A and B are shown apart, each in its own frame.
Chain A
Amino acid sequence: MIRTLYILYGTAVLLGLSVAQYQGWSLATVNEVKNVPRSVRDNPGSYRSVYSAYHHYTGGK
């Protein structure tokens, strides 16, 4: 019983992995923005990046 469940589960994991690889899933954090105006092409400064307020690293050891 457990073996059958595991085989079904493992098959699902491998199928899921194949779909994820084919569709290009990734673990990266990316913000999706809709309807960015075409004017950004000519005026890049008009776009406000979601990550621009990020607190940056300021030094090494």
Chain B
Amino acid sequence: MVVSAGGTPPARPQVRALNCPHCGAALTLRSFGNAVTVVCESCHSILDAKDANLQILQQFKASEDEKPLIPLGTRGKIRGIEYEVIGFQRRTIHVDGVPYSWHEYVLFNPYKGFRYLTEYNGHWNDCSTLKALPEILPYSPPKVRYLGETYKHFQTAKAGTSFVLGEFPWQVRVGETAVVTDYVSPPRVLSSEQTGQEVTWSMGEYMSGKDVWKAFHLPGDPPEAVGVYENQPSPVSSEAATIWAAFAAFLLLLVLTMSAFDLSAGKAQVFTGYFKFNSNQRGDSSFVTDEFEIRGHTSNVEVDTSTDLNNRWIYLNYALINEDTGQAFDFGREVSYYHGYDSDGSWSEGNANDSVAVPKVPPGRYYLRVEPEGDPGYGVTYYTVTIRRDVPQYSLYALAFGALLLPAIVVTWRSLSFEHLRWAESDHPPISLNVGDDE
């Protein structure tokens, strides 16, 4: 049927009313003769919809709690096309003796035909049968390619039909089985169903329960999705790649920033002095240096101490004092250098030189108070103190590098965890799970 050029909308599909030959209950046929079988909701007789007398093909006993989440007859729009729910079935696989069931809804549009919705633990898929066969690739584990996209094998299992309701475009039976093989490339899944020599391929695309509820205008909230489903798109996998790309860009900016500061930093030497400390002499060892000027903006001041220590230590109490304001930056530095030779070979510990950056020193006139300490008996230690202002601190770049790297690692870890949960349910679980199973 073709829509007229005048744009007159097609007449709303009408249903055909019949009665069940077994219990007499009214039957509703919504698929205009496209159904092959129809199931009586009252007595659960599976009837031949192609037979004028609705021949009974099978009867089964159903549990009371089998109610479709989307009632039969509900209409909703999938990809902008209105479909009506005409059939519902529950299918079950057994893995290690544990049954896992999912539900399938048959959707029908008189112009577009059939499509399916599947639901497992709150995860939904919009499915339709394929028009062409996927290409099976010679890999282990197997992969298939369809429309340029490669799908990885997820699971192969024997699925049995355990409950049916409504209309079906095939000869449905409770108890019938098919070998179902799923290949995934989130958010899509390719499924093959083999019954005897017949293989049917379909493609599903992940849908959230919220989207299904919205499409069918269902009241309330959809059931909460439990766990990670085989083709559920990871909320972070696509983000991980873009975050690493952003990290690379930030790393480049970090190097540029480092170069810019390194080139523009003053690193100006504002003081240097050569001193002697005799630890054998008793009394106050403190002294002050000549006054020196620190110019420019507030910046760090690096104090370098270079000594002639040899298997000794010296402790230097420093105070960088502003002549005008009386503000002092007080800090202590231990400088020690030991070396020797023992049964393990030669060893050394410490360093005869030391460097420290005093943070945020305002410009002004300063002098340095020095109070050296050392073990009596060590004798004379010669040391040089050199002061520079505005010296780039590479430790800050290392901190920034860590701060930029951390989120990328967290997102990658979350992405890997998600994939771990996904594949834990497959025929190819991650290696760690195999180890656990063996134990």
Contact B330 A50 (CB under 8 A): yes
Q: Bound state CA distance, A33 and B328, in angstroms? A: 5
Contact B359 A30 (CB under 8 A): yes
Contact A59 B338 (CB under 8 A): yes
- Interface 0/1 of A1-24, CB less than 8 Å to B: 111001101100110111011111
Contact B404 A10 (CB under 8 A): yes
Contact B319 A36 (CB under 8 A): yes
Contact A61 B342 (CB under 8 A): yes
Tell me, yes or no, whether B132 is within 8 Å of chain A by CB.
no
- Interface 0/1 of B288-304, CB less than 8 Å to A: 10000000011111000
Would A60 and B349 be within 8 Å (CB), given that A28-B359, A40-B369 are in contact?
A: yes
Chain A interface, number of residues (Cβ within 8 angstroms): 47
Tell me, yes or no, whether B232 is within 8 Å of chain A by CB.
no
Chain B interface, number of residues (Cβ within 8 angstroms): 68
Tell me, yes or no, whether B94 is within 8 Å of chain A by CB.
no
Contact partner of B361 (CB less than 8 A), chosen from A16, A24, A34, is A24
A sample of 27 inter-chain contacts (CB < 8 A) reads: A3-B239, A6-B243, A6-B411, A7-B246, A14-B400, A17-B254, A17-B396, A22-B297, A24-B299, A24-B360, A25-B300, A25-B359, A27-B395, A27-B396, A28-B358, A30-B329, A32-B327, A33-B319, A34-B327, A35-B326, A36-B328, A40-B369, A54-B332, A56-B334, A60-B311, A60-B339, A60-B349
Contact A21 B396 (CB under 8 A): yes
Shortest distance from the beta carbon of A44 to any chain B beta carbon, whole Å: 4
The B-contacting residues of A in range 23-54, CB under 8 angstroms, are: 23-38, 40-41, 44-45, 47, 49-52, 54
Among B287, B371, B397, B411, residue most surrounded by chain A Cβ atoms (within 10 Å): B371
Tell me, yes or no, whether B321 is within 8 Å of chain A by CB.
yes
Shortest distance from the beta carbon of A55 to any chain B beta carbon, whole Å: 10
Tell me, yes or no, whether B407 is within 8 Å of chain A by CB.
yes
Tell me, yes or no, whether B253 is within 8 Å of chain A by CB.
yes
Q: Bound state CA distance, A35 and B328, in angstroms? A: 8
Residues from chain A with Cβ under 8 Å of B404 in the complex = 10, 13
Q: Bound state CA distance, A36 and B338, in angstroms? A: 36
Q: Bound state CA distance, A14 and B284, in angstroms? A: 47
